[in-house]
Chains A and B, each alone.
Chain A
Amino acid sequence: MSVSILGSRESGQNIRDTNVRAVQAVANIVKSSLGPNGLDKMLVDEIGDVVISNDGATILRSLEVQHPAAKVLVELSRLQDQEVGDGTTSVVIVAAELLKRANDLVKYKIHPTTIIAGFRLAMKESIQYIKDYLSVKTESLGKDAILNVAKTSLNSKLIGAESDHFASMIVNCVEAVGVMGASKEMKYPIKSIKVLKCIGQSAKESVHLNGFALMTGRTAQGMPTSIKNARIACLDFNLNKFKLQMGAQVLVNDAKNLEKIRLRELEITKERIEKVLKAGANVIFATKAIDDFALKYFVEAGAIAVRRVDKKDIRKIAKQCGAEVLITLMNNEGEEVFNESSLGSAEEVSEERLGDNDFIFIKGMKHSSSQTLILRGANEFMLDEIERSVHDAICVVKRVLESKSVVVGGGAVETALSIYLDSFARTLGSKEQLAISEFAESLLVIPKTLAINAAQDACDLLAKLKMYHSASQNSSDEKKQEYKYVGLDLANGKVRNNLKAGVLEPTISKIKSLKFATEAAISILRIDDLIELAPKPEKERDGH
């Protein structure tokens, strides 16, 4: 007799099969977008919004998968995105392949726990092997290495053709925001890089700007377009016509009084503005609204006022130009004053027009460290995708600059690990051996998929790759040692030394994706029961 529950229950081999099938389905979706020759997906949501992307995390996030096991995979790519920023597709593919092979092993009557133990061991060995033999220090490669890392990441994206242009822009950008952290190590806070999108012109016209930019125009046409030696005030309150708060009512007996009250309402705001201007401010950023009538005071004073600036932006501006974000003008005695000390300064604040949009540029701030990238593109979908690609590349560059260690891309690491694990498995006498050799085999899915996506002969290339790596690991000849850097050359359908060709990825990205993929596969493998409770029926309306 089975348990009676409100819902359905699946257990044992059934659930493992269903889970593996669901996971496989998810992986198959992103499979074709792996690598430099990967294709893009067009996703249309229920409202009709279109997203074009080949970023694994983005695709999976938009999919809204239902199956709980598949959700684990979506979560996995999100995690990789968060922790590393790149490699979101490959992590999903590896996890799915691991699961598929594990499930086959279970069918051969190997207990899941044995497989799990084997996978854990294989993961540990691989990470150690990457650290000891496969990673290369960036110092030994010269400055180009970092550029190449950015290029490798960009190559697989929509803007692969312009990867040179973007790579140098991104590397400059990330290097410029570097600060010395507390522990005497360089930190690269990528939050200091502002990426703005602007429709028009080609992707190649994207520019890198030293300074801060806002994607809004000045509020009134009468204001100057550029102010040198700007004195900046950052206001976090309303400059609308003053309104009494809730609970206060205006009751007048006399029509004259009504007019007076109306005037006073304007006056209160005007007084505030005058206080700010009197202190010497000539650039005013406000997070909230500025009323139209209030604009004339700014115009008269020859100041630039910008309204509805994002709160995060205004804090950054304030921090960098030395201003103070004020939420009220109150002083210690409860009076309203504006002190000159609350002002910040910058060399120039100007409005410029790019494409269809106006931008406010703030240059030469006191503690400036922020960088701005303005992306151009033919349409919105393209811009969104460029933004995602640039984000990935920025993350990758940051990782490399911080960890100073890279591995060779193009399937080299996976093949090397596969060969190594295969021979490692043979040193074990237990059942784990089978699990480890399946793990080794699973890793080959990456070079295989890369080759297939590039319309090359996967079998042929894989055989060659394996040959080189096996030669490198089995001989002490120095020349053959170099073969461990051999990876795929997808454009020409050959294998080559990818270290020399400059196909590089951050070590940490490879290590983390291996770890995450194994963990995800294990957590799905451990499940032997799925209990789905029926949704509760909605309460009937009682007619009221």
Chain B
Amino acid sequence: MKAANPEKGLANEKQKSIRMTNISAAKAVADTVRTSLGPRGMDKMIKDSKGEVMITNDGATIMKQMEVLHPTAKMLVELSKAQDIEAGDGTTSVVVIAGALLNSCTALLEKGIHPSQISDSFKIAGDHASKILEEMSVKLDLSDTTSLEKIASTSLASKVVSQHSQELAPIAVRAVMSIVSEGDENVDLKNIKVSKKLGGTVDDTELIDGLVFASNHASHAAGGPTRVENPKIALIQFCLSSPKTDMENNIIVQDYTGMDRILREERKYIVNLCKKIVDTGCNVLLIQKSVLRDAMNDLSLHYLAKHRVMVVRDIEREDVDFISRTLGITPIAHVDQFTSNKLGSAKLVEEETVGEGKIVRIKGCSNNSPQGKTASILVRGSNQLVLDEADRSLHDALCVIRSLVKKRALVPGGGAPEMEMSQKLLELSRTLTGAESICVRSFSEALEIVPYTLAENAGLNPINIVTELRNRHTNGDKHAGINVRRGGVSNMMEENVVQPLLVSLSALNLATECVRMILKIDDVVMVR
């Protein structure tokens, strides 16, 4: 009996230290991304293991690239990924909130409160906070494009490409709105194709009326047309080259006349294929990439060019579905099925030179196939770093609009909702007793990290700002937040700094859940 007691003490000691290590590992991750929160957040430069450099400010991207080692730190990375999937934006805030909550846990644990009690109290606080959020939210009508654009620009304001938010925000809004129909509860962002093309500046990014191929261009080999008005478009999945059997094959020639025959037959075969295509009135041919065989050979290109058929080759297999939906056509797998009713129509197909490369653009397609509408965006940027970052930022903006479709309500930005939650939770804690009260109180204090960090990143005095905010919120000014532009506190709704309810809500819930999970871990076992 005597020996058992110290051992038990040892086990407790171990659990405690593991909890502390976990918490501090997770906090370290949160501290890493903290400086990139908000419109004046800084960027991170990441050099990956292949030596490629990336400059970004998107929390999810930073975390994904960082390759953290500690298992709990990995949970935070997952957390940010989850937020990315759920809401698409707020990937930095969710990690920062989680970090702050964990920080408050340390103090609570030291007071001797049991982890599961902390966890339960956090659940109560979290649930209550979501209610507060929903109460303070403002309903939004999807037809209100100007507010939507404002929300998109709030999301873009914190990115590297912030000075282009004027151009990108309306694009994001129009893209999502064009594929949403009345009563939709969700948007499939796969229906928005974002293509990147190097060259030009981010200002040149555009929403395409129709389709754009950024990496394919019209075939020039035979001098075919590069611009077709009122095109009849077909998408084929078979090859226009000499046939091949599945197995290793040999043609054996024994006579010189055989050589002529081969030549003639090959030409005839190709001509027959092409003739069938041309006869249907098709004048723009999109050909899926083929690995085993050449998709086209010189003969077919020549024949098609002669009949003024524009050829766009090497269409990726995964794009086929999107293209056929946009154009309202079905891909054609064999020449026998190539009939004129399978052709799609548009106003114009044109090849354009942009920067150093070329793109093909299909304008004015019908775009009303039964499987749903599509939209295409062409992103431009002067170098790969900017281009990639513009792409990521645009994705965030699209997600923000999507979360508004999912939940049509707004909350103010600039740290206002966090402050409001913090104040209301503080009131709640006063009505409770026991450890619960202390935990809820800590939770409410932890939420102040968001306005604190925002102020800090903007080069303002965080203590002055946070205390002023606290004051305004206690006096009932629900929408008071940090005005980064002017460096003070003002009404966020009037300043048009707004964000979707879903982003804040899911950030809060995900962060609380993650923290509760980390708290409950009392042992880490490494298994080889």
Contacts and interface: CB of A to CB of B under 8 A. Distances in A.
What are the 9 tightest A-B residue pairs by CB atom distance, in nearest-first order?
Answer: A111-B459, A264-B256, A528-B42, A334-B267, A113-B40, A68-B53, A334-B271, A248-B251, A529-B44
Contact of B271 (A251, A260, A332, A530): A332
B299 A328 contact: yes
Interface stretch (A165-173, A218-226, A486-494, A532-540): A532-540
B260 A264 contact: yes
A245 B47 contact: no
Interface stretch (A1-9, A145-153, A360-368, A406-414): A1-9
A182 interface: no
A531 B45 contact: yes
Contacts of A318: 223
Contacts of B525: none
Interface stretch (A195-203, A319-327, A380-388): A319-327
Contacts of A69: 45
B208 interface: no
On chain A, which size bracket covers the interface? 35 or more
B346 interface: no
A533 B262 CA distance: 58
Contacts of B62: 531
Interface string A514-530: 00000000010011111
B174 interface: no
B382 A79 contact: yes
Contacts of B44: 527-531
24 contacts: A3-B66, A4-B68, A5-B68, A110-B459, A113-B458, A237-B298, A244-B259, A251-B252, A251-B254, A260-B256, A263-B256, A264-B260, A324-B223, A327-B222, A332-B303, A334-B270, A526-B42, A526-B43, A528-B35, A528-B42, A528-B44, A530-B47, A533-B49, A535-B49
The bracket for how many chain B residues form the interface is 35 or more
Interface in A236-262: 236-237, 242, 244-245, 247-253, 257, 260-261
Interface string A1-44: 11111110101000100000000000000000000000000000
Interface string B20-35: 0000110111011001
Nearest to B242: A245
Contact of A75 (B27, B67, B383): B383
B45 A332 contact: no
A332 B221 CA distance: 18
A249 B250 contact: yes
Given A257-B255, A334-B264, A523-B43, A4 B69 contact: yes
B101 interface: no
A302 B301 CA distance: 32
A82 B357 CA distance: 13
A152 B264 CA distance: 62
B29 A3 contact: yes
Contact of B28 (A1, A68, A257): A1
Contacts, number: 188
B67 A6 contact: yes
B214 interface: no
Interface in B243-289: 244, 249-256, 259-260, 262-264, 267-268, 270-271, 275
A232 to B, nearest CB: 15
B271 A261 contact: no
Nearest to B200: A83
B163 to A, nearest CB: 7
Given A3-B68, A261-B256, A531-B46, 6 more contacts: A112-B459, A113-B458, A245-B242, A251-B254, A325-B222, A330-B299
Contact of A326 (B49, B160, B255, B302): B302
A15 B260 CA distance: 71
Interface of A: 1-7, 9, 11, 15, 68-69, 71-72, 75, 78-79, 82-83, 110-114, 120, 236-237, 242, 244-245, 247-253, 257, 260-261, 263-265, 268, 315, 318, 324-328, 330, 332-336, 523, 526-536
Contacts of B251: 244, 247-249
Contact of B55 (A249, A336, A523): A523
B428 to A, nearest CB: 32
Contacts of B221: 236, 327
Interface in B301-327: 301-303, 306
Given A4-B68, A257-B254, A330-B303, A527 B42 contact: yes
A457 B49 CA distance: 48
B347 interface: no
**For the complex, would chain B's binding face be called helix, strand, loop or mixed by DSSP majority?**
mixed
Most interface-central of B49, B244, B268, B270 (chain A CB within 10 A): B49
Contact of B66 (A15, A110, A265, A531): A531
A532 B49 CA distance: 8
A4 B73 contact: yes
A530 B35 CA distance: 13
Given A3-B32, A3-B68, A334-B271, A523 B242 contact: no
B139 to A, nearest CB: 34
B50 interface: yes
Interface in B416-435: none
A532 B54 CA distance: 10
Interface in B483-516: none
A244 B303 contact: no
Contacts of B250: 247-249
Given A251-B253, A533-B49, A5 B263 contact: no
B385 interface: yes
Contacts of B382: 79, 83
Contacts of B40: 113
A529 B32 contact: yes
Contacts of A71: 53
Contacts of B262: 244, 248
A134 B493 CA distance: 43
A253 to B, nearest CB: 7
Given A249-B250, A523-B55, A528-B42, A68 B47 contact: yes
B70 interface: yes
Given A247-B250, A527-B43, A330 B256 contact: no
